[in-house]
């Protein structure tokens, strides 16, 4: 069973990348982030012919997430129960009957946070991770099959940082988000709950594979980026992970997202 996570950075702008992913990988579940389209304006004409059940939680111009599933889910949930009415549209979940039992997949576009000194963006990132942790601890059980995937906007380890050592030190010194100690603690809480970074388990020492590359500095041209797009799996499911990777060919297409799709296969 194959899961793919992709920050598409505008669904309407990149149907060619969506089609290429599906043609190449035929995923069972595809999570999209930053679709940038309101629910009432969702472009079904771009996805209906692809052969998937489509669910979305979006807003105009910003954020937004979608799930495409081969098999119809048992249930779909949008946002966290703790969300306020004006909450940004960043999380969509589904329960799917699988060979592993009823699997819960959570697809999120996690806040970037900008800087630990930012008055609103950094607290919003902290709250999102806290809301996720609370949801896991109150609504799900770690022994059950769980996938959390998405643009999580944190590089888990220094192996996942490819912007050069001077930039890494400067970002830390300036409080810039992506690998601050407190951000990594939020990820560590997910690990302690019982979730495993599928890519890192399969590639324990790899330090040159990244999922995000800055447009402005043309980071993709010389592999300067960050691994911030993750697929986390509960331990029992992670043990069945047979393959995982980052698809740089999709990132190399014309008019690409600044992210590459990441994927994991379970048997």
Can 151 be counted among the known catalytic residues? yes
Sequence spans of domains, the chain: 2-266
* Residue 106 to residue 126: CA distance in whole angstroms: 18
Supply the pLDDT for residue 165: 98
| pLDDT > 90: percent of the chain | 100
Among this protein's residues, is 214 annotated catalytic?
Answer: no
State the pLDDT at residue 3: 99
What is the Cα–Cα distance from 59 to 45, expressed in whole angstroms?
Answer: 18
pLDDT tier at 157, thresholds 50, 70, 90:
very high
pLDDT at 76: 99
Which stretches within 140-214 are classed as H helix? 165-174, 181-193, 198-202
Mean pLDDT confidence for 104-125: 99
Q: Tell me what the mean pLDDT of segment 237-255 comes to.
A: 98
Q: Give the separation between CA 219 and CA 121, rounded to whole angstroms.
A: 25
* Edge-first strand listing for the sheet containing 91-98: 75-78, 91-98, 101-109, 146-151, 229-234, 195-197
Quick check: helix, strand or coil at residue 252? coil
30 and 94 Cβ atoms separated by less than 8 Å? no
Question: Average pLDDT, stretch 188-209?
Answer: 99
In the chain, % of residues over pLDDT 70: 100
Binding residue numbers: 7, 34, 151, 153, 258-259
The whole-model pTM stands at 0.98
pLDDT the model gives residue 230: 99
Q: Does residue 52 have an active-site annotation?
A: no
Residues 14-24 have pLDDT tens digits of 999 999 999 99
- Report the chain's mean pLDDT, rounded to a whole number: 98
Annotation: CATH topology of 2-266: Deoxyribonuclease I; Chain A (3.60.10)
Q: Give the pLDDT mean for 156-163.
A: 99
User: 3-state DSSP call for residue 171?
Assistant: helix
Catalytic residue among 52, 63, 109, 129: 109
Confidence at 39, pLDDT banded by 50, 70, 90: very high
Phi then psi dihedrals of residue 145, to 5 deg = -70, 120
Choosing from 151, 160, 229, 247, which is the catalytic residue? 151
Residues in binding site for Mg(2+): 7, 34, 151, 153, 258-259
Strand partners, 255: none
């Amino acid at each position: 069973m194959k899961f793919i996570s992709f920050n598409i950075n505008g669904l309407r702008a990149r149907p060619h990348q969506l089609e290429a992913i599906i043609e190449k990988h035929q995923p069972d579940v595809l999570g999209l982030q930053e679709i940038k389209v309101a629910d009432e304006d969702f472009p079904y004409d771009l996805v209906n012919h692809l052969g998937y059940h489509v669910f979305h939680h979006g807003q105009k111009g910003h954020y937004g997430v979608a799930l495409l599933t081969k098999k119809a889910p048992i249930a779909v949930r949008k946002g966290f129960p703790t969300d306020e009415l004006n909450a940004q549209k960043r999380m969509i979940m589904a329960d799917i009957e699988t060979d592993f039992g009823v699997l819960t997949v959570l697809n999120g576009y996690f806040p970037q946070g900008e800087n630990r000194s930012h008055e609103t963006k950094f607290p919003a990132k902290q709250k999102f991770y806290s809301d996720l942790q609370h949801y896991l601890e109150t609504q799900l059980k770690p022994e059950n099959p769980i996938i959390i995937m998405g643009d999580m906007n944190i590089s888990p380890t220094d192996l996942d940082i490819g912007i050069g050592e001077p930039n890494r030190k400067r970002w830390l010194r300036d409080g810039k988000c992506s690998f601050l100690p407190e951000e990594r603690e939020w990820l560590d809480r997910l690990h302690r709950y019982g979730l495993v970074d599928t890519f890192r388990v399969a590639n324990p020492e790899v330090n040159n594979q990244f999922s995000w590359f800055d447009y402005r500095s043309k980071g993709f041209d010389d592999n300067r980026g960050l691994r911030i797009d993750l697929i986390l799996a509960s331990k029992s499911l992670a043990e069945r992970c047979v393959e995982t990777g980052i698809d740089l060919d999709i990132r190399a297409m014309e008019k690409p997202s600044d992210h590459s799709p990441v994927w994991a296969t379970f048997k």
